[in-house]
Amino acid sequence: MRVTAELDQATYELVRQRARIEKRSMSALLGSLVVEALQSEAPRLVKKGRFTVVAGPADGSKVGAAAVQAVIDAEGVL
């Protein structure tokens, strides 16, 4: 699928340089970086009524303060 994205000059140069080093197209590199970022351990947000909450890990472990802070920073709520 074709997508247009705007990158600042510094980011463009970093992607171009890395693609050249890895002998890949910029498109292939950006696609793999997006997939990698989406599959990372980012906190999942769940709507509970009128509130957005951080979903707990599937294994039942506790959510750390860093994960909560990441959501606050991303949402710009506080």
> How does pLDDT run across 56-66, given as a tens digit for each residue?
777 778 878 88
Calculate mean pLDDT across residues 15-33.
95
8 Å CB contact between 45 and 54: yes
pLDDT given for residue 17 in this prediction: 97
Question: Does residue 75 have a pLDDT over 70?
Answer: yes
Question: Does residue 29 have a pLDDT over 90?
Answer: yes
Gap between the Cα atoms of 48 and 42, Å rounded: 19
Q: For the full predicted model, state whether its pTM sits above 0.75.
A: no
